[in-house]
Amino acid sequence: MQQKHLPTVDFTAVDPGSPGAWRATREQVMQALGFHGGFEVVYDRVTPDHRHALLEIAKDLFARPLPTKLKNASDEPYGGYLGQLPGIAYESLAVADAGLPYAIPTFADLMWPDGNPRFCEKVKLFTEKMVELLETVRRMVMESLGVAEYFEEQVRATYYQLRFTEYGEASEWAEEKRTLAQMAHRDTNTLTVVCQLNEVNGLQVEAKDGEWVLAAPRSPASFFVIAGEAFQAWTNNKVYAPRHGVRVEDEEVDRRYCIIVFAKPTSEHPIEAPAELVDDLHPSLFKPFYYHDFLKFCVSPEGRKQRTSRLAVYRRSLTTAPPAATTATKEEDEA
Ligand SMILES: O=C(O)CCC(=O)C(=O)O
Ligand SMILES: [Fe+2]
């Protein structure tokens, strides 16, 4: 049987001036995020030329010498360069706090000591478009759950990481590492958008019922929105944070390039579902937690052992010390 695709939601006609289209789209977004934890979005605010320029930029970036790439260091877990993992032909570089004015030029100066104005211009514009998209999705979810009054506060408590990723062609991978299981994970943050820059597919998402579906672009204006565990917690489980990962096909002879923008919660306030989403029938499933504490747990020896929901295990560790189970079951994931 042919593998299914993630549902597609078309944002082309969505604008605040057409309430009918807005409401219909909002409905589709909520349905997709509740069951699949993500969707393919057709979003025409990034032109094909712009996407092509970003592909060239990504290739230039990964062609920088390794010592230069290693300068992309960060105190935050998963905050900078990732790569050099045995048998895994994967590298990525991150622009921290990409929404702030100095962030992109600072990163560019690190990678290209003589500067790279084209990089800055193209990446800044792209970031703005992705932030708009993620804010629209967040607004739709919050309206749909009847908690839109928290929108501004949630946006203020959000920062963005922009990550370039490169997956090597199949021959660069150890054979046993080419499986989906190798890279499968849940995102820890609130909302993620993946922009695949070339024709090399591979991303798959596991819906709530355990079925893995393809996230392979079906239009030149497609992006993939994926919910993370912080959003699942904040919405008290109304939004699902799916496992997802990239499967490198054995016949793949091209490298795969993506840019991913992660909306992340700041740690000024704990993540806690609003009172409106909690009642006797829907008790709060997650104790309040600080995002950065959760991130630290994820990279701890205990967190690294988790194959399924790190948040489910971390949540238990907040009520029982020390954290007990090391292998969460599927059911616990969905708790
Ligand atoms: O490269 C992709 O398509 C997705 C990567 C991903 O899920 C991540 O970096 O969190
Ligand atoms: Fe991810």
Q: How far is the CA of 57 from the centre of ligand 2 (A)?
A: 21
Task: Report pLDDT digits (tens) over 63-80.
Answer: 999 999 999 999 888 899
pLDDT of residue 300: 85
pTM score, two decimals?
Answer: 0.92
Q: Which atom of ligand 1 is nearest to the CA of 202?
A: 3
Secondary structure string (H, E, C) spanning 204-235 = EEECCCCCEEECCCCCCCEEEEEECHHHHHHC
CA 22 from chain center: how many Å?
23
Q: What is the pLDDT of residues 44-66, one digit of tens each?
A: 999 999 999 999 999 999 999 99
Complex confidence, ipTM: 0.96
Query: How many whole angstroms separate alpha carbon 302 and alpha carbon 320?
Result: 14
Task: Calculate how far, in angstroms, residue 22's C-alpha sits from the geometric centre of ligand 1.
Answer: 28
What does the pLDDT look like over 238-282, one tens digit per residue?
A: 999 999 999 988 888 899 999 999 999 998 899 999 999 999 988
User: Is residue 246 lining ligand 1, measured as CB closer than 6 Å?
Assistant: yes
Torsion-angle region of residue 274: left (phi > 0), alpha (psi -120 to 50) or beta? beta
Length, in residues, of the chain: 335
Residue 241: nearest ligand to its CA? 2
Ligand 1 pocket, mutate which of 257, 258, 264 (most atoms under 8 A from CB): 258
Phi, psi (rounded to 5 degrees) for 288: -55, 140
